[in-house]
Chain A
């Protein structure tokens, strides 16, 4: 086969790829860069029409950050976000492991319909349910508390994680489980000791996605919570730093940046799981 392009052609084509990717990467990163620049700029410079918006000319200041920590409940918001995300993720992943294994492996009547039901609830957008759920939350006596979020987030996490994990469970060879059962292990032991360790990458994926989805959630957190002390980071920053027509731009950007950092850290550490989960979730879904 005479399939070998010349070195020159390959370099040219790679140069073409870089040249095309550069503007896109700029487009992706600029809002984050601008957030950071704004958060360290003095108000005088921020609102001076003659200054150059792209960088800081009159010195880096941390006033917007101190404002965030001293004058707002930012720390509480971050704690709330963390607590809600950890609880909702744990509960959802446990429920999803059980359901996912059941649907992927066990034969019983109605299994196919349950699978379809879970898939359909995966597609129901939260924006279709927030009105009735806001009433359910009131009836449960959970109005305006972070418990309301811990209870409602699994509604979108469980379908998603179950769907994701079903795919992973199917990739595990059935024989391994059968051997364990023949050797006298109970079904629960087989699931716990044999299947779970093998499905670990999938479970990490599910945890990662759930945590991110909880941390980023906006609709429910905005509609179910009104007291500042009970807000999550995303809602706290977007609502409490805007007073009527006054936008505290410096602190808004500082808050947005800080509230994004936990997600970025998790993301950078587990990038490969993230990519595989994204593709598995969509392609198999």
Chain B
């Protein structure tokens, strides 16, 4: 109940000044709520929404670095769709994302099941497993670059000594199939911990009784996994797969450091091609159009995610 100023005055209280009225206003739940969220919204509008709008404008203009361009409609999109390199990039992106995410999923579940056991050194093992996720990706990718070096590759050296391959072995980053394999390997190496640890969290939430009941009923370990564990961790798995897909699809660091999209553009992803065309080549219009191709996938993921969140 608000107390009017007259009543307060009559009761011997001083008339509320401007300051206290301001305070009263600020104490209202909705005013306080808006007040706290304003900085975040200002930031997101000026540095995410506005640049995003700019990206769309760039993609519809012939904007070059240093020269304000004019509206050219869908010319950029038509140009890149007719461009061999771009079509190659689309294919690369799907191959890269498809294989990398599948591998991360299968290996991640497997790793999570191993980590869920009550082993000695559990903490140390989990700590080590997470390392690739924590270390700066660009830097750890440098180590891989050196490991895949055309002349001094330790991978080839080992394989040759073990008589798995004949000398000199593949030129990892110089041949398209091997380069793609290399890029995927590094992505899996770096992204697997995220999968494993989140799936592990999902596994820990599964009540032990379910597993025990299934075991008592004589279910084999494969049956237990397929019919008990997997359905129970499905929600977690769905979230991780969606997140991973979007970040793998938008990957930049690994490809930029390892191959820069080569050899002959066979490992370019949208981000690295956009960087090459838009910033190194200076054609901001086309670069923006290329990077916007990530957007439909993003929209799809956000849509599914929101459906899922709402259902929860």
Contact = CB atoms under 8 A, between A and B. Distances in A.
A222 B141 CA distance: 15
B117 interface: yes
B146 A107 contact: no
B139 interface: yes
Given A1-B216, A28-B189, A106-B30, A264 B134 contact: yes
Given A128-B250, A187-B32, A274-B130, A95 B43 contact: yes
Interface in A1-37: 1-3, 13-14, 17-18, 20-21, 24-25, 27-29, 31-32, 34-35
A192 interface: no
Given A47-B152, A271-B127, A249 B30 contact: no
Contacts of B18: none
A120 B151 CA distance: 45
B288 interface: yes
A129 interface: yes
Contacts, number: 278
A95 B133 CA distance: 26
A266 B78 CA distance: 48
A237 interface: yes
A69 interface: no
B129 interface: yes
Interface string A97-120: 011011100111101001011111
A255 B32 CA distance: 47
Contacts of A268: 127
A132 B55 contact: yes
A152 B44 CA distance: 10
Interface in A204-223: 212, 215-216, 218-219, 222-223
B146 A252 contact: yes
A237 B201 contact: no
A108 B30 contact: yes
Contacts of B236: 282-283
Contact of A27 (B136, B189, B216): B189
A136 B152 contact: no
Interface in A120-149: 120-121, 123-136
B39 A95 contact: yes
Contact of A32 (B35, B138, B143): B143
B105 interface: no
Given A108-B34, A109-B30, A129-B55, A283 B40 contact: no
Contact of B52 (A98, A132, A235, A264): A132
Contact of A124 (B26, B37, B52, B144): B52
B135 interface: yes
Contact of B301 (A29, A108, A123, A132): A123
Interface of A: 1-3, 13-14, 17-18, 20-21, 24-25, 27-29, 31-32, 34-35, 38, 46-47, 49, 53-54, 95-96, 98-99, 101-103, 106-109, 111, 114, 116-121, 123-136, 151-152, 154-155, 158-159, 162, 186-187, 212, 215-216, 218-219, 222-223, 233-235, 237-238, 247, 249, 252-253, 255-256, 259-260, 263-264, 267-268, 271, 274-275, 278-279, 282-283, 285
Interface of B: 23, 26-27, 29-30, 32-37, 39-41, 43-44, 47-52, 54-55, 58, 110-111, 114-115, 117, 119, 123, 125-140, 142-144, 146-147, 151-152, 154, 157, 189, 194, 197-198, 200-202, 212, 215-216, 236, 239-240, 243, 246-247, 250-253, 256-257, 270-271, 274-275, 278-279, 284, 287-288, 291-292, 294-295, 298, 301-302, 305-306, 309
6 contacts: A35-B142, A53-B157, A95-B43, A132-B51, A267-B134, A271-B127
6 smallest CB-CB distances across A and B, nearest first, come from A125-B250, A106-B33, A127-B271, A279-B201, A108-B30, A99-B40
